[in-house]
Amino acid sequence: MFVFKAAVVGAGVMGGEIAQVIAAADIPVLLKDVDQKFVDAGLEKAREVTESQVGKLVEREKLTAAAGRAQIDRTLGLIGGGTGYDGFGDVDFVIEAVPERMDLKHAVFAELDAVTPGHAVLASNTSGLSITEIGDATNRPDKVVGFHFFWPASVMRLIEVVEGEETSAETIQAAANFAQAIRKMPIRCAECPGFVVNRILSSTAAEIWRYQDETGLDPEALDEHITQAAGMPMGPFRVADMSGLDTVVKVARDMRDAYGDRFYVHKAMEALVERGDLGAKSGKGFYEHS
């Protein structure tokens, strides 16, 4: 199946950049959220990323300034935004990126089932919820698949293509093809909490979180030691802030519920979320964000 037009539902930390990735591959894409201010923020993120990517090409003299400007206009012109399902009648591939809650996923998938053409693949960017259960909200569970990007979506190349019990072989193939068309690297995963990457990543992060809760060491200082010692671009507390602490806590709790106490949930992070300090998206988390 060729994807002539795509859509992204949920324009938060992930959605805006996912729409940008699709448009940068010359595929028209719609970005939908429940409120225009979230759509606008997603479109602004897509603009920032596009300008930065193209700006680097112009700096390296791979593109002239005029060609760069034209490329930015073309990419951004391929992204449409709104709060309704206008234009979803001829999409081929939809990626849902709403908060990690099964009730929300069910509501969105039931709506998508009603407004998209029968052949369209309905994909979820869930970090670990059951694709089979998400597919239950539709009349086409064979066309429901996990399509898990990593933050930041415009940079990270991996996509986990996750197979639910009902997902057809054609859908898995279509998802893997689409991942390649948007210049990503798909890996096929079985359905289990955390899939592959979060299962590995969360167990490492869990030990650092446990250590911080036990010692009370400054998260910023720990981040600095870890980035220096391991040569990582960002420490785990900053990554959590950028990803959204509500999402990170939800995923950590799901992992603990599925696999037991070896997946630790950071108490200080839970306290921040309770206070509404969600990291970069709310302006404050372990760090202050302008």
Ligand X SMILES: NC(=O)c1ccc[n+]([C@@H]2O[C@H](COP(=O)([O-])OP(=O)(O)OC[C@H]3O[C@@H](n4cnc5c(N)ncnc54)[C@H](O)[C@@H]3O)[C@@H](O)[C@H]2O)c1
The stretch near ligand X (CB under 6 A) out of 7-15, 133-141, 159-167, 216-224 is: 7-15
* Interacting residue with ligand X among 3, 11, 159, 175 (CB under 6 A): 11
Q: Could you tell me the two tokens for 90?
A: 């001829």
Question: Smallest gap, in angstroms, from Cβ of residue 86 to ligand X?
Answer: 14
- Which residues from 143-162 bind ligand X, rule CB under 6 A? 148-151
Ranked by CB distance to ligand X, the top (closest) residue is 12
Cβ atoms < 10 Å from Cβ of 261: 9
Interface mask toward ligand X for 230-269; x: CB under 6 A: -------------xx--x----------------------
Question: Smallest gap, in angstroms, from Cβ of residue 225 to ligand X?
Answer: 23
Interface mask toward ligand X for 108-127; x: CB under 6 A: x----------------xxx
Question: Smallest gap, in angstroms, from Cβ of residue 164 to ligand X?
Answer: 15
Examine the residue annotation and report whether 148 is marked as an active-site residue of this protein: yes
- Which residues from 80-109 bind ligand X, rule CB under 6 A? 97-100, 104, 107-108
Which residue, among 162, 104, 82, 88, has the nearest Cα to 130 in the 3D structure? 162
Question: Smallest gap, in angstroms, from Cβ of residue 175 to ligand X?
Answer: 15
Count of residues near ligand X by CB under 6 A: 29
Question: Smallest gap, in angstroms, from Cβ of residue 248 to ligand X?
Answer: 7
Q: What does each C-alpha distance from 234 to 211, 247, 277 come to in angstroms? A: 18, 18, 20
Asked whether position 273 contacts ligand X by CB under 6 A, the answer is no
Q: How far apart are alpha carbons 277 and 169 in whole angstroms?
A: 42
List the catalytic residues: 148
Q: Provide the binding-site residues for ligand X, judged by CB under 6 A.
A: 9-15, 32-34, 38, 97-100, 104, 107-108, 125-127, 148-151, 243-244, 247, 281
